[in-house]
Chains A and B, each alone.
Chain A
Amino acid sequence: MIRTALDQIALQVVDLHKCFEDSHVLRGVSFTANRGEIVALLGDNGAGKSTLVNCLAGKLLPTEGEILINGTKQIINSPNTAQNLGISVVYQDLALIKEMSVVENLFLNREIRHRNTLLNRLGWLDKKAMAMRAKKLLRRLGSAGIELGLPVSMLSGGQRQIVALIRAVNAGANIIVMDEPTAALGNEQCNHVIRLIRLLSSQGVTTILISHDLGQVAKLCDRAVVLYQGQTVADVAVKDVAQLELLALMSGAECSGISAN
């Protein structure tokens, strides 16, 4: 099946600006991410990555510019709106409730209610349905080893990362933004998470990956978007560019040959 190029674009950011009272943090960020693509978002500290992510997550409203989801312009004014549009952000702290179990975390604020009308009105939970769905989801994503009833505080760092990712999928996310997902993980756990990101990508989920590990970016990502002082300075296919060049772009060096791409 041949699809037009437009059909494939999941996320498009056009000339995004964000001003705070005393600073102009985003000064024209533009990039696109296609369906199923893994895009690295690179930039030094203060380049504007977090501000951009917060705009996508609905925590901040951009001052200027547009965000298009599946080709339609959207105003993302709350985390709920972002979720409804299929955007999930997996923050570095993962935003998991440690005291709660895996399944409780997976369904936080998207609980399945009881089918009985009266109980449904009362907000009565259908724990069985949630457990079944969670089990299926974990199996589909090759993570059946995670115990559903265990509190998150008992899981390893890698398992927590996987739970946070799966929660995003369970929330219906087509676009997942991940902030340094493997920074604090050991080798083996890191591979688990990477395998899951690849699996999701093959199922059409777009991943925006914030990472400082350029080696990992080279192995995992299709494209890299580089921010410098609030502007996109490059949007390149990872295989066309050397790690050193990316590093140079991140630090603001001129690489005109690439940024024209």
Chain B
Amino acid sequence: MRLSAQVTAKTLVYYTFALTVVIFTFVLHSSAFFSIENWLNIVRQTAPIVIMAIGLNFALSAGQLDLSIGAVVALSGLVAALLLPEYGLIIASVVALSLGGAIGAFNGYLSLRLAVPSLIVTLGTMVFLNGFVRYLSGLESIPILNESFLILFGGGSIFGVPTLLIWVLGIAVSVYCVFSYVQLGRHLLATGANANAARAMGVNTIKVRIIAMSLSGFFAALAGLLYAGRMQSARYTLGEFEFITVIAAIAIGGCSLLGGQVSIWGTVLGVWLIGILNNGLILSGFSSNAQMMMKGIILIVAVGITFRTRKQ
């Protein structure tokens, strides 16, 4: 069939997205599924995950993997929540974001220094941070009362447009530009596609990899602020179980998990697709068990198609 030839890694997400909406149209034709409020809600709920996923594109573009982003989300949210009452919006958010960037850079440096895959290093960082945020929070949720923080990072709206949607679109456009029009993007992709070739051309692949990991951590920290803002509190569980969603969304979005290729808009749509699936499944009466199974299937199918296209 011709269709199967046209469905490539790059376009998969568009077909799946359309198909999902069509299916839910038949299943849920008269329910709350189609209200604008419901769709905006999906956008709000998925915003931190989109930011995490876009950030992870940096690590993946350079051929690295960052498992620690979920833990950085929790750390950043907690640090901001703890600093806000005493130091205010600017210091709290700058510290949280810098911490994320620094942890990412540390991951990158360690993996290069020890010549260990970033997968292993960030696995260690992840477990360490998971423990650390439990210690830091004493397993309590920390409320956020700072008004300006909640307006900037929270679930509110500006002229009817959710702040979180503005964040998502703003970051997506900026990162898209980095990969399409900026020298750093070229060097990231070149390093991920063929590090030896990039090095032979004089690209400082060590620096590029550390920057990639650092940006991954930075955007995870930003996602943590958005999470905390939307929930109006920070908890050690924030982001903890989102890694699988992020990876599934990126895979179906057409980003190569092996480096050298990213798809920012595919990533955004991939996360939204999973958000719609979750939402639609709940409205159709399924439990969260079904959502988990769905994510697993999406990941396997998407990765399968990506690798098949690579071979061709």
Q: A98 contacts B194, CB within 8 Å?
A: yes
Cβ-based interface call for B182 (8 A):
yes
Interface pair B183/A125, CB less than 8 Å apart: yes
Distance between Cα atoms of A91 and B197 in the complex (Å): 10
A78 to B201, CA, bound (A): 11
**CB of B189 closer than 8 Å to a CB of A:** yes
Q: How far is the CB of B74 from chain A (nearest CB, A)?
A: 32
In the assembled complex, A127 has its CB within 8 A of some CB on chain B:
yes
Most chain-A Cβ atoms within 10 A of its Cβ — which of B199, B200, B261? Answer: B200
Residue pair B189, A100 in contact (C-beta under 8 Å): yes
Question: Once the chains are docked, how many angstroms separate the CA of A155 from the CA of B189?
Answer: 20
Interface of B is mostly: helix
Interface pair B202/A83, CB less than 8 Å apart: yes
Is residue A80 within 8 Å, beta carbon to beta carbon, of the partner chain? Answer: yes
Would you call B190 an interface residue if the criterion is a C-beta within 8 Å of the partner chain's C-beta atoms?
yes
A42 to B183, CA, bound (A): 39
Partner of B190, one of A79, A108, A122: A108
Chain A, 98-122, contact with B by CB distance < 8 Å: what is the 0/1 string? 1110001000110101000000001
Q: Which residues of A contact B194 (CB under 8 A)?
A: 95-98
A124 contacts the other chain (CB 8 A): yes
- Whether a CB of chain A sits under 8 angstroms from the CB of B134 is no
- Where the two chains meet, the residues of A that have a C-beta atom closer than 8 Å to any C-beta of B are 57, 78-80, 83, 89, 91, 93-100, 104, 108-109, 111, 113, 122-125, 127
A89-B200, A108-B201, A109-B201 known; 9 new pairs, CB 8 Å cut-off, are: A79-B201, A80-B202, A93-B196, A94-B197, A97-B194, A97-B197, A98-B193, A99-B261, A109-B203
Could you jot down 23 A-B contacts, CB within 8 Å? Answer: A80-B202, A89-B200, A93-B196, A93-B197, A95-B196, A95-B197, A96-B197, A97-B189, A97-B194, A97-B260, A98-B194, A99-B189, A99-B261, A100-B186, A100-B190, A104-B186, A108-B201, A109-B203, A123-B183, A123-B184, A124-B182, A125-B183, A127-B181
